[in-house]
Amino acid sequence: MKEEDSVHGGHVHTHDAGDGSGMEHMEHEAGHEGHASHDMKMAGNHEHAHGSEGMEGHSGHGGMKHEHGGHSHAEHHRMMMEDFKRRFIVSSILTIPILLLSPLIQNFFGFELSFPGDHYVLFGLSAVVYFYGGWPFLKGMQDELRKRNPGMMTLIALAITVAFSYSVAVTFGIPGKTFYWELATLIDIMLIGHYIEMRSVLGASRALEELIKLMPTEAHLVTPEGIKDVPVSELKKGDVVLVKPGEKIPSDGVIVEGETSVNEAMLTGESKPVYKKPGDTVIGGSINLEGAIKVRIEKTGKDTYLMQVVELVRQAQETRSKTQDLANRAAFYLTLIAITAGSITLGTWLYLGKPFVFALERMVTVMVITCPHALGLAVPLVVSVSTSISAEKGILIRNREAFERAKDVDVVVFDKTGTLTEGKFEVTDVIPLDELGEEEILKYAAALESHSSHPIAQGVVEKARELGLKPYDVDESKVIPGKGVQGVINGREVLVVSPGFLKENGLWKEDERVNRVLEQGKTVIFLVVDGKLAGAMALADRIRPESREAVKRLHEMGIRAYMLTGDNAKVAKWVAEELGLDGFFAEVLPHQKSEKVKELQEQGYTVAMVGDGINDAPALIQADVGIAIGAGTDVAIESADIILVKNDPRDVITAIHLARATYRKMVQNLAWATGYNSFAIPLAAGVLYSYGILLSPALGALLMSMSTVIVAINAKFLKA
């Protein structure tokens, strides 16, 4: 452990900074492969084969390869999603005349629409819906059966094939009833359900794109002929670049000329700008706050710190554990029941000597009544309702499976800066060390700091403003690089400086109050007036008022709360004690953040990670549930499963409560969607035939529709 000096606008404070910037510890050499990740996180365990024309070789979310005819995974996924949307639109348009021409619908609504050859028109329209709209499911059934894992795709394909085949047979001569409208509506519902599902799983790959956007596109290359602007991609190791104040550092390197403060918060989680001088390393993507510097490039491309974070995000996505979808499992068993019951029904009635048409009608009734209209809607409807409720409460759900997992969370890990704290410095202590009082100290300090945009300077000015203090007028103000700022106020020489400056100039004196705030890891700056030490001000990252309540409510729910931060141990300890956290991890670099989450998971915990920084992205993806707080960067949001729009940690509790309520509704709907079959299937098969009770195919279809309505109504009763 070594000590580093962090600076704010020239102010140095000493803290334990871990083992340097972490540049030398990033040994991952896997590199960025140049494509969006093969995203297990997005895919979950969906083995659906979302086939489409021109994509015959691809078998769904889980089975997608890295490249599809030159397209990235995300592009291919988007193409498939659009394909489902296109098929849904076409099928829905054709369903309208199918419904109008269906005898059952006409009888139900009391109207008549017939003309010569109408049943052939009905057949033609239904055939288009069956082959065009039903193609992804027919293709999916082939893939599922090839893998010997029949599921939702097989059941849907089986149901629409039996309904279509039997209806065609009736259209062309066999006595009986057609099932064209059931066929069309089932295909419509399944297409829109899969489209909605695929839209929700596209986000994680964009996290990589957002990370890469952090890097500037151009650099000011220093050449013998002068400064030349070149693309960052052309930089080579050993090149020297000029970085002006306010610009991003183009690549990892070492400062060879100039002094400055660098904002690394978006990369390392260090909330304080870090003072940098010749010989210090700088990270590509971090922001130069003050002086112009010249940097010798040490790493480019995949070797840079940021690109290694990109690689970590990609790896975390690929190694994501899968969670089997409840509806898929239910569909698997329902498929077996449907096939078995239908076959037994057909065989039994033939064995008992009934005509083939009668036996086939019984089998079709069984297949139709087992048709997964309700099952297909059971989960998506609840998710749709819960998504609407959550959006009203400022909680955006991006990943359905992870949202479902939120019900099992027993540890919530919070990032510190910008999540539990506001990421803004506030003056927590003003310590008089001479004749000046607290207000006078603040007026002098605010006067010197009022022209600086530095976070710590702004914290001092804000404190004076809160107390209604008017800062003095300043003459001859100037920055002391790496040390502080000085000026003349009311004819007196005034300095606001770091502890290091005091020690170098023999002005340091021991004080128990100063030692106490330094022990808490707070940033301490000092006011010197006419060469005499007049006072000290301690600043700390302001803790959000909502954070205390959030931690308290988590404890009431039996959930443990931890903190993960790149800040030093003293600061972390102070925040953890203030909030009553169960534990904290300090001085953690981005690659270590995901490792810390993994450590908790290996102990058997279901972990939710709440963060807002780019350095949180790998941890957000590694966690069972990744939650981005609203002020978070684009990367954190793209890497997260749930987004808290209102920047309120208490919304984590709301999200968990909603996840639990949503899960209960899902289970209820799945129980109904599959459970009603336990009495409907025997009736459809004809077990009460000897008592004169026989369920017709049309009545079976109505019973199936009723189950769908019940599922829809039950979903609407969901409350947070």
What positions carry a catalytic annotation?
A: 415
Nearest Cα neighbor of 185 from 376, 373, 374 is 373
SS (H, E, C) 110-139: CCCCCCCCHHHHHHHHHHHHHHHHCHHHHH
SS3 74: helix
Angle at 147 between CA 50 and CA 85, to 5 degrees: 5
Token pair, residue 653, equals: 């509790």
Distance CA 477, CA 494 (A): 9
Distance CA 521, CA 526 (A): 16
Amino acid, res. 487: G
Distance CA 193, CA 382 (A): 12
Give the H/E segment covering residue 625: strand 625-629
DSSP one-letter string for 441-477: HHHHHHHHHTT---HHHHHHHHHHHHTTPPPPP-EEE
Size of the chain, expressed as the number of residues it contains: 720
DSSP one-letter string for 675-715: HTHHHHHHHHHTTTGGGT----HHHHHHHHHHHHHHHHHHH
| 551 contact partners, CB below 8 Å, separation of at least 6 | 561, 579, 580, 581
Token pair, residue 413, equals: 């890990």
Burial pattern 86-112, b for ≥16 Cβ within 10 A else e, equals ebbeebbebbebbbebbbbeeeeeeee
Nearest Cα neighbor of 198 from 307, 39, 90, 35 is 39
Residue tagged 């066929």 (tokens): 183
Phi-psi region of 579 (alpha: psi -120 to 50; beta: other; left: phi over 0): alpha
